Amino acid sequence: MAISVESNMNNVYAGVTVLLVDGDSTCLIILSKMLRSFGYKVVTTKRATDALCIIRDQQHKIDLVLTEACLHDMDKYELLETIGNISSLPIIVMSTDYDRNAVLGSLFKGAALHLEKPITMDDIKNLWQFTLIKGREINVPIVEAKSCIKEVSSMESALGVVVDGRRNLRDEKRKRPLEVENDKEGDNCDQGSSTLKKPKLIWTNELHNRFLQAIDMLGSE
């Protein structure tokens, strides 16, 4: 099971194309190798203007933008705003300046995530998930996608049994106190009805004499 999941994950990486933008040639080479080691497809450029041209011309081929915040040919927020105006690509920003204002500024301008340099393998391992947040489809091979669906459906069905079982138990637990409360209410209603019932009148000689006296008084008046 673990082997099939790992192969499916590799295919997920292979379905994601990252546009990598960094003005430092060394960083560009290192990050590109790191991304490709996971199976990502990588398109590289050192200039923000070139990145915008790539996005305009090949937007349907790009799934994610990983860019340095400070580029030589464009303000650090200008690239974010421009990409946001022409596409819905998720943007991950990298920078050595990781203070609060820089992070909030990037997020406010449209970045999905702000990473601090130096970038680690753990930082970029799950970047493909941001393509799902934006609702973009990853180009996973059809055969592998079907196997993934089967695995997920089998897991869901297995979990569904447990979930339904728990729901049934919860429903039973909910019904029990309700039934008890209904029984109590029924008892209270019975008690209330018994208290509201008038006691049975027993005609005694004393009551009969009082009745006769009342008639005499009414007749005399």
| Residue 37 belongs to a domain | no
pLDDT by position in tens, the chain (length 221): 444 444 455 667 878 999 999 999 999 999 999 999 999 999 999 999 999 999 999 988 999 999 999 999 998 799 999 999 999 999 999 998 778 888 999 999 999 999 999 999 999 988 999 988 755 555 444 334 344 444 434 444 443 433 344 444 444 544 554 454 555 555 554 555 445 555 566 767 777 677 777 777 766 54
| Residue 114 belongs to a domain | yes
3-state secondary structure of 71: strand
Query: Is 109 in contact with 77 (CB distance < 8 Å)?
Result: yes
| Residue 107 belongs to a domain | yes
Q: How far is Cα 51 from Cα 44, in angstroms, rounded to an integer?
A: 8
pTM for the model: 0.59
DSSP 33-87: HHHHHHT-EEEEES-HHHHHHHHHHHGGG--EEEEESSBTTB-TTHHHHHHHHH-
- The DSSP 8-state label assigned to residue 75 in this structure reads -
The number of folded domains in the chain is 1
| Residue 151 belongs to a domain | no
- Assigned token pair, 14: 């292979």
Q: Which domain holds residue 89?
A: 76-132
| Residue 181 belongs to a domain | no
Peptide bond preceding 141 in cis form (omega within 30 of 0): no
3-state secondary structure of 20: strand
Q: What is the pLDDT of residues 77-126, one digit of tens each?
A: 999 999 999 999 999 999 987 788 889 999 999 999 999 999 999 999 88
| Residue 9 belongs to a domain | no
| Residue 182 belongs to a domain | no
Given CA atoms 33, 39, 129, 162 in this order, what sign does their dihedral have?
negative
